[in-house]
Chain A
Amino acid sequence: MRRILLASLLLSSQAVLAESFSECPSRAFLTQGAIAATYGVNLVTGDYGLLQDNMATKSKVNATGFNPNDNFLYGWGYEKQKPVRIHNDFTVEYLEVANLIDGSGFYVGDVSLTNNTYYVYRKGSDYGLFGISLDENSENYMSMEKVIDGSSLSLRIFDMAFHPSNGFAYSVDKTGVLHRIDVESGTSESLGSTGESGTFGAVYFDVDENLYISRNSDGKIFKVDVGSGNYAAQLFALGPSSSINDGARCALAPVSDVSDVNIDFGDAPESYGTYLKDNGARHGLTDNNTLYLGSNVDGESDGKPMPLSDDESDSNDDEDGVQFATTLQSGDTAVIIVEASSDGILSGWLDSDQNGTFDADEQIIIDKSVVAGKQPVYVEVPAGASAGSTWARFRLSSTASVGANGGVSDGEVEDYNVNITVEGSAVNYYPSSSGWTTVAFEDNWPYEGDYDMNDLVTYLRTSVYRTNGEVTAINIKGELAAVGANYHNGFGIRLPDILRDQINEEDISYTINDRPVIADYSPLEAGRHEAIFILAYNTWSYVSAGEDCLFYRTEAGCGSNVQMRFNLTIPFKTPVESDIAGVFDPFLFATPGAWHGSHFDSPPGRSYEIHLKNQHATEAFDYSLMNGSGQDASDPAAKHFYQTTKGMPWALELGNRWQYPKEYRDVTHAYPQFPSFVRSEGLENPSWYTFNNAVESILFKD
Chain B
Amino acid sequence: MKKLITMLSLTVLLTACGGGGDSETSTSANADGDTTTVGANPDTETPLQENTADLESSADFDFATSRSIAIDFDVAAARTTPGLMSVCSDYSKTDDIYDINYDSCTLQAPLVNGIYSGAMEVTNDINVVVGVVWFKDSSIEPVYKEFALELGARLAGRGAGAQKLVWR
- Which A residues form the contact surface with B (CB < 8 A)? 123, 156, 174-176, 193, 195-197, 232, 235, 323-327, 329, 332-335, 337, 374, 376, 378, 423-435, 437, 448, 451, 466, 469, 548-551, 555-558, 579, 581-583, 612-614, 633, 635, 638, 640, 643, 646-649, 652-656, 662-664, 666-669, 672, 674-675, 678-683, 686-687, 689-690, 695, 697-698
Contacts and interface: CB of A to CB of B under 8 A. Distances in A.
Interface in B28-63: 28-30, 32, 42-46, 49-53, 55-63
Interface string B94-130: 0000011111111111101000111111111100000
Interface residues of B, number: 81
B79 interface: no
30 contacts: A156-B20, A195-B7, A197-B10, A325-B132, A326-B84, A326-B86, A326-B110, A376-B134, A428-B118, A430-B121, A431-B106, A432-B106, A433-B105, A437-B123, A469-B117, A469-B118, A555-B29, A582-B68, A649-B63, A654-B65, A655-B65, A664-B24, A666-B51, A668-B50, A669-B45, A678-B56, A679-B55, A681-B153, A682-B153, A687-B124
B143 interface: no
A427 B109 CA distance: 6
B30 A678 contact: no
Contacts of B136: 332-333, 378
A651 to B, nearest CB: 9
A664 B23 contact: yes
Contacts of A689: 65
B134 A196 contact: no
Interface of B: 3-4, 7-8, 10-11, 14-15, 19-25, 27-30, 32, 42-46, 49-53, 55-66, 68, 84, 86, 88-89, 99-110, 112, 116-125, 132, 134, 136, 138, 142, 151-154, 156-157
A525 B141 CA distance: 48
A435 B102 contact: no
A420 B156 CA distance: 37
Contacts, number: 259
Contacts of A423: 110
A433 B20 CA distance: 39
Given A433-B104, A687-B124, A695-B44, A633 B59 contact: yes
B41 to A, nearest CB: 9
B29 A466 contact: no
Tell me if A's interface is mostly helix, strand, loop or mixed: loop
A459 to B, nearest CB: 13
Contacts of B22: 556, 662
A326 B134 contact: yes
A469 B157 CA distance: 30
A175 B154 CA distance: 50
Given A175-B20, A434-B104, 11 more contacts: A156-B20, A423-B110, A425-B109, A431-B106, A556-B21, A557-B20, A655-B66, A655-B123, A674-B52, A678-B56, A678-B61
B23 to A, nearest CB: 5
B103 A323 contact: yes
Given A337-B102, A428-B120, A678 B59 contact: no
